[in-house]
Amino acid sequence: MAIVQIVQWDDSINSNEILAWRYVDKKNPAKSDELGNWTQLVVRETQEAILFKDGQALDLFGAGRHTLSTGNIPMLRRVINLATGGESAFKASVWFVNKVNVLDIKWGTQNPILLRDPEYQIPIYVRAFGQFGIRVNESRQFVLKLSGNKSQITRDEVAGYFKGLILSRMGDMIATYIAHKKINIFEISAYLEDMSNEAVEKLRPEFSLYGIEPVNFYFGSVNINDDDEGIKKLKSAMSERASMNIMGTNYQQKRSFDVMESAAKNEGGSSLLGAGVGLGAGMGMGQTFGQMAAQMGQFINPQNTVNNTPVNPANSQPSGSVCPSCHQPVTPGAKFCPNCGARLVCSKCGNALIPGAKFCPNCGQQV
C-alpha cells in the first residue's frame, strides 16, 4: 500500500448521469475500503464526500483536500483507534455525492387519465408530459435512503423511484383543474405555468424525505387524442355552439328552425301548421309564431279547411276581435276597423283578409 493514498471521483464517470458513487480503487478494487492513515481525500466543487464505517454514515466532507486522520474525523475517532503515523489501515468506504442541478428529467403519463368535460359532461382521455429538475441537498439522507447495496445511484433510478408519485400527484392536479375548477381541456394550456409552480410545492415535501430538492417542474403539454370519439363529439358541440352565437340564436331556436324546415319540405300543409304553432309556443313566441304559421297555412290550404271541414267564406269573420293592423278591439262582424279604418273582410266575398295582403286569398279580389 502506498504511503499516501488518494481517494477522489473517477473522471471516467459521467457526472450528468451519476448522482452518487462509492469509491473503488482501480488498482485493487478488493481493498477499496481499506484506507490508510493520512489518506488524502479530494472532493471537487459541487460534490460532497461521506465516510462510512460498518454501514454508518460518519463525517461529511465538502469541496477541497482532506487528510483522513484522527485530527479531522472526530466521529471516526470514536469508533476506531488510529495508530499515530505509519500506514495503519482501517476499514471504511467513501461515497461521493454529485450535487449539480439535474434539469432535464422527463416525465409523462403512460396511460391516459379518464375525466369528464366540465361543460358538456362528455368523457375524455387526457394525457400530460413535461420535465423536471432536482438537486441533492442532504447527502447523508440521500445515500442512506437510496443506496442500499448498490455502488452508485443514477438519475434514471431516481426518476424511476418517483415516477409513481409524480404521475399520481399530477393526475390529481389535472383532475382538479378540469373537474373542480371547470377549466375546459382546450383552455388548459393557459394554466400550465400555474400548474407547474403548484407542482413544485406539492412535490417538495415528498422529495425532501430522500434528501432531494425539486429545482423546477414543468408541464410541457396537457392534451387529448383527436381521434377519440368523445373528443370528436366535444369539438362538434363547441363548433355548433360557436356558429349559433355568431348567428345570434340558441340551441332550442335552431332545433325549432330545423324542424320547420324539414316540415316545409313534406307534402301537405297541416304538418307545417302544427309544427309552427307547437314550436312557437315552446319558444315563448306563441302569438307571433302562431300568426306566421296560420298565414302560411292559409296559402298552403286554399280551400280553408279546419279539422278537414270546409269553411263557408261568406260566414268568415276577422281573426279574433282585434284589428290585425293596429291591434285595437273591433266589433265581431265589422268590415272596417273603427280605430284605423283598415278593411277587415273582402268587399266581394266577405272572407277575412290577411294583414298586409293586396288580394283576397279566397276570391282574388284586389283589396
Q: Give kind and range of the element (H or E) at residue 3.
A: none
Residue 96 has pLDDT above 80, yes or no: yes
Residue 327 confidence (pLDDT): 77
Residue 48 confidence (pLDDT): 96
Q: Which of 41-50, 218-227, 354-363 has the highest mean pLDDT?
A: 41-50
pLDDT in tens, 307-340: 444 444 444 444 446 787 787 887 777 777 888 8
Residue 71 confidence (pLDDT): 55
Residue 131 has pLDDT above 90, yes or no: yes
Cell of 287: 302569438
If one compares 310 and 222, the residue with the highest pLDDT of the two is 222
If one compares 358 and 272, the residue with the highest pLDDT of the two is 358
pLDDT in tens, 271-289: 444 444 444 444 444 444 4
pLDDT in tens, 159-204: 999 999 999 999 999 999 998 899 988 889 999 999 999 999 999 9
CA 313, CA 322: separation in Å to the nearest integer? 19
82: confidence class by pLDDT, cuts 50, 70, 90: very low
Q: DSSP strand E in 27-142: where? A: 34-36, 39-43, 47-53, 56-61, 64-68, 89-91, 93-98, 102-108, 113-116, 123-136
Q: How many CA atoms lie within 13 A of 6 on its CB side?
A: 7
pLDDT in tens, 281-313: 444 444 444 554 554 444 444 444 444 444 444
Residue 281 confidence (pLDDT): 41
Write the DSSP assignment of 155-188 as a string of letters: HHHHHHHTHHHHHHHHHHHHHIIIIIS---TTTG
Sequence spans of domains, the chain: 6-98, 102-230, 249-301, 312-367
Cell of 301: 290550404
Q: DSSP strand E in 180-240: where? A: 212-224
Phi, psi angle pair for 24, to nearest 5°: -130, 125
The mean pLDDT value of the chain amounts to 77
Q: How many CA atoms lie within 13 A of 230 on its CB side?
A: 14
What number of other Cβ atoms are within 10 A of residue 123's Cβ? 14
* Cα-based distances in Å from 140 to 69, 91, 237, 330: 21, 19, 57, 100
CB 137 within 8 A of CB 211: yes
CATH number for the domain running over 102-230 = 3.30.479.30
How many residues make up the chain in this entry?
367
Residue 154 confidence (pLDDT): 95
